[in-house]
Amino acid sequence: MRLDVTRAGSFRGSQIPPAYDSTKKDFVVSFGTRFECPEGDDVVAVRAAVPIMRPFSFLNVDSQAMAGGRQLLTATAIFRAEPYSGKSCT
């Protein structure tokens, strides 16, 4: 499983990086390496991706087939952090 955590000042400015590279049929190389420490009142996007076994080809519902009979499942949560003040994630 790989996770990316990004933050933005508003919902409008949020760009979520993709997890799947359709040309290589694998993870995007940089996916899972990004952690932007959220601060109070930030818009936070948490994206998780995990390859799972796909025993039958008809189970490929989102065109994210990977090598070895696997398929990439992704989940995204976007939310606004509470308006707290305090130290960052250092």
Confidence of residue 59 (pLDDT cuts 50, 70, 90): low
DSSP 31-48: TT--B----TT-EEEEEE
Give the span between the Cα atoms of 18 and 39, in whole angstroms: 23
Which residue, chain included where needed, has tokens 């994630």? 89
What are the tens digits of pLDDT across the range 6-40?
988 888 866 777 898 888 888 888 899 999 988 88
pTM assigned to the model = 0.78
CA distances, 58 to each of 12, 22, 62, 66, 85 (Å)? 36, 18, 11, 14, 49
